[in-house]
Amino acid sequence: MKITIVQGAFIPVPPILGGAVEKIYFKLGQEFVNLGHEVIHISRTHPSLEKKETINGVSHIRVKGFAAPKSLLVLKFYDLIYTLRTLKHIDSDIVVSNTFWLPIFFRSKTKGKIYVSVERRPKWQMKFYTNVSKFRACSPMIFDLVKEKIKPKYHNKVSYIPNPVPFQLKDFSTEKTNSILFVGRLDKEKGVHILIDAFNSIPKHISKNWTLNIVGPWEAAEGGGGLVYYENLKNKKGNVNFAGSVYDQDTLSKFYFESKIFCYPIQDGTGDAGPVAPREAMSYGCATVLSNHDCFNEYAVDEINCLRFNQSSEDQTAQLASQLIRLMTDSELREKISLNGRKVFDDFSTVKIAKMFIEDFQSVLNE
């Protein structure tokens, strides 16, 4: 079959400026090709990338996009302009949409069936997606939320396929260090401030030989919380290292490889649907601490392959600190959580998930 993947207006592919969804579909597109299908991948232009090129069998078409603005209203307007620019490039069997407007404006019945990949909490726009052939939810939580946003007669159009771990494991031939890692946007909804407060509250005789590494962008243009939030984080001090944005996959993987503990303390109200970073960390054997947010429930089993804490509790900082202390001081527990977590890589491999997508695409074409 012929598959067109349409990314949003703000991040190029390959994901040289980051972007979890862009990273996922960059790898999935190549696996679709390996499974014998034709793939066109549409994304925004970038000065370092050709407007048209082929990468590992995937034909990339790049359309003029935008840097992400601070205003949500302006962002939606930019995304509309970009989406209209993509329409002339679409002529496929399946059109995978990762944009807000494409399911509304793509109406051709002869140039492809719209397959909406829902990667964040669905909102009011879902009721306007009346010509969509399939809503693909990236987690069981999103599966249920999509059904809440659309009419019951469309519920049979909703499927669940998890996000893959979008890389191959590498051996960097180094030992794990006494380091705790966070990877993601530096934003309140990610709970980075909670993590730093928890780490700094740990008694010095336990934490003195440990480092907290924070990897990710703080700039609002890249989805971060902005300069004020970043300065507040830095003012908390402690043995905390801010590494900034890391977009090179090998460099990022080395952080995972060398870290004993990973923490992803996202908060209530987050738009996260199926975060990839925890699965990446678990794949590399990081003993992982997660909040009790529903988006982790498809793979995170408390006390088995991770430890969890209640982000809705008033004493969440103390709860998180307690879980970190357990992993920092109990090597047997840390090893158990690490070994069980590594199984996530096989459960969510790109090859396995790509086959699930192809089966879902075929079911759409068979309708």
Can you give the residue ranges of every domain in the chain? 2-164+350-365, 177-347
Tell me which CATH code domain 177-347 carries. Answer: 3.40.50.2000
Burial class (CB in 10 A: 0-12, 13-18, 19+), 276: buried
**The predicted structure's pLDDT at residue 40:** 98
Residue 169 has a pLDDT of 87
Q: Cβ–Cβ contacts within 10 Å for residue 98, how many?
A: 21
Strands 113-118 and 38-44: unpaired
Contacts of residue 319, Cβ cutoff 8 Å, sequence gap at least 6: 309, 310, 313
- The whole-number pLDDT of residue 220 equals 83
Identical topology for domains 2-164+350-365 and 177-347:
yes
For residues 217 and 192, the answer to whether their CB atoms sit within 8 Å is no
What integer pLDDT is reported at residue 124 of this predicted model?
85
- Predicted pLDDT at 271: 67
Give me the pLDDT at residue 172, please: 85
Rounded-to-integer distance, Cα 60 and Cα 39, Å:
9
pLDDT of residue 337: 98
Give the separation between CA 48 and CA 62, rounded to whole angstroms: 12
Report strand pairing: 58-63 vs 52-55.
antiparallel
Domain 2-164+350-365 carries which CATH code?
3.40.50.2000
* Closest CA relative to residue 288, chosen from 162, 183, 185, 194: 183
Residue pLDDT, tens place only, 221-253 = 788 889 999 999 999 989 999 999 998 889 999
The pTM of the full predicted model, rounded to 2 decimals, is: 0.87
The pLDDT of residue 208 is 93
Positions of the chain with pLDDT lower than 50, given as ranges: none
DSSP state of 39: E
